[in-house]
Amino acid sequence: MKTRPALDADAAYRALQARDARLDGHLFVGVTSTGVYCRPICRVRTPRRENCRFFDTPAQAEAAAFRPCLKCRPEIAPGAGLAWSVMDASRTLALQAAQWLNVNAHAFDDAEAPSLAALARHLGVSDRHLRRIFAAEHGVTPSQYVQTRRLLLAKQLLTDTSMPVAQVAHASGFRSLRRFNAAFAENYRLSPSRLRRDGAGTSAGAGDGACATLAFREPYAQGAMLRFLAQRAIPGVEHVDGLCIRRTLRPGAITGQGGWIEAEFVADRAQLRLRSSASLIAATGALLPAVRRWLDLDADPQIIDQALQGLPGDAGLRLPASVDAFELAVRAVLGQQVTVAAARTLARRLALRFGEPVATPWPELDRWFPAPDVVARLEVSQVAELGIIRSRAAAVIGLAQTWPELQALLRAPASPQPLLERLCAVPGIGPWTAHYIAMRALGWADAFPPGDVAVLNALGLGRGARDVREADARSQAWRPWRSYAVLKLWNSLEKSP
């Protein structure tokens, strides 16, 4: 696997001087004369070389007693991303552990040992081994890593929203306002209310929901992402309008509460603006990493594009994931052996018949997708009468009945193989559908749906067993980015407008 090589301090300083956006999220600089750490793209005056210390993560910088810059805002930087396949097994485990902590930091309370024990069990290692490999890879302990994630989330909410400070503390994972204030003051040398008084928190009123800014690395093929989502958007549930993606979010998709979200690409800036309903404020800590995965904001396009040289398509292609894995899985089953447009129609009928109505600011969004427990109780005839063939209707119901088990596999930061095997055990779900679900529900970068007709056509191959083996053999050169290769091949077959 190709990865970005580590920079020595002199090379890192040259990148800082150049304000190299390719290293945004991969490199942070602590300035000893100010006690502040910045992203490499920060527009303040470049500090002297002897005053610079370089770090791979914000957690390392904060462990060294640096506090985040208020101008370049390290909390909105793109993440390092999760490599599903690397040469070093210990490094893979440490990266997967960090990814789990990124998603769950807001819910990670003072009972660190039981939480780490659960994570170690997911990874199949001991607590002690997990702590050792985590510190070796990330330079900090898991608890230090979690503390940084929680504080940076709090800083983002204080900056981007008008949520009350107590609400910010709770949404960031702090179980008491006293602990939050103490941690903020100790690490950032100012109080939460002081940060807000200095000009933050004007984006949205607490009653209107929350706003947040999320950064990504350029290039980003926004047109391809928006087109892909628009073609598959379920009417009433999701809608693409210009640079905006708006959708409802049923209770249980990410959090116990339901609501709506709006994600808008900011013109001429490598940023996404996220707005959510007031009902989702308390779930901001879970929502932000989910949106980052949904729109693949942490991808490193330079490395991916280099690995896929020779394939058609624009630079900066991203992998569309999902914020509702059940909805995505059902949509994948309905899409078996029919066109994208036909699957969209069937999904709309399912949502209209069995989903709950919801109020949003937009008339085109009025439905939550039906929850797994609702679908699990249906009869095959109830689904079939929507125009869905009975075998596929049975597969949708079987998927819903198996969902608690599948959801546990989706949450485990390990190999996608257990999920693939369990999906294939559901009657009516084969390897292609299982790979597609894992590709988008997990954001699995190395999925390669076997026997995909569009991929075979794009490669100039037939549909026989020998052609399928030939496609798989060619795909080995694209690992671990085969999902992106699949998207490029699919897009190459689209007719020009």
CATH number for the domain harbouring residue 66: 3.40.10.10
Q: Which of 45-49, 209-213, 445-449, 453-457 has the lowest mean pLDDT?
A: 209-213
Asked, for residue 72, whether it belongs to a domain, the answer is yes
- The reply to whether 254 and 180 lie within a common domain is no
> Tens digits of per-residue pLDDT, 106-120?
665 544 555 677 778
168 and 210 housed in the same domain: no
Let me know whether 163 and 235 are in one domain. Answer: no
Same domain, 219 and 240: yes
CA neighbor of 153 nearest in space, from 98, 77, 57, 97 = 77
Do 188 and 231 fall into the same domain? no
- Residue 235's contacts (CB-CB under 8 Å, 6 or more residues apart) are 344, 348, 364
What domain range includes position 173? Answer: 89-197
Residues 6+ apart with CB under 8 A from 317: 221, 224, 301, 304, 305, 484, 487, 488, 491
pLDDT digits 0-9 by tens, 218-238: 999 999 999 999 999 999 999
Give the chain's domain count: 3
> How sure is the predictor about 412, in pLDDT bands with cuts at 50, 70 and 90?
low
Residue 342 lies in a domain: no
Considering the domain architecture, whether residues 175 and 111 belong to the same structural domain is answered as yes
pLDDT of residue 107: 63
471 located within any domain: no
pLDDT at 362: 96
Annotated catalytic sites, by residue? 38, 452
- Asked whether residue 103 falls in the same domain as residue 15, the answer is no
Average pLDDT over residues 62-89: 82
pLDDT tens per residue, range 171-182: 888 888 999 999
Whether residue 494 is contained in a domain is answered as no
The answer to whether 201 and 229 are in contact (CB under 8 A) is no
Same domain, 237 and 139: no
Do 23 and 70 have their domain in common? yes
| Structural domain ending residue among the three candidates 172, 197, 222 | 197
Q: What is the DSSP string of 80-149?
A: ----S--S-HHHHHHHHHHHHHHHHGGG--S-HHHHHHHHHHHHTS-HHHHHHHHHHHHSS-HHHHHHHH
- Give me the percent of the chain exceeding a pLDDT of 90: 69
110 in any annotated domain:
yes
Q: Is residue 334 part of a domain?
A: no
Residue finishing a domain among 36, 55, 76: 76
Q: What is the CATH number of the domain that holds 272?
A: 3.30.310.20
Q: How far apart are CA 204 and CA 158, in angstroms?
A: 11
Is 192 found in the same domain as 119? yes
CATH number at residue 167: 1.10.10.60
Whether residues 157 and 234 share a domain: the answer is no
Q: Is residue 118 part of a domain?
A: yes
Final residue belonging to a domain, choices 307, 326, 341: 307
Confidence of residue 379 (pLDDT cuts 50, 70, 90): very high
> Sorting pLDDT into bands at 50, 70 and 90, what band is 474?
very high
Model confidence pLDDT, tens digit, residues 291-344: 999 999 999 999 999 999 999 988 999 999 999 999 999 999 999 989 999 999
137 and 66 inside one domain: no
Tell me the whole-structure pTM to 2 decimals: 0.90
**Token pair of 207 as six digits:** 């009653």
Per-residue pLDDT for 205 more than 70?
Answer: no
In a domain, 332, yes or no: no
Q: Of 77-91, 144-158, 391-405, give the range with the top mean pLDDT.
A: 391-405
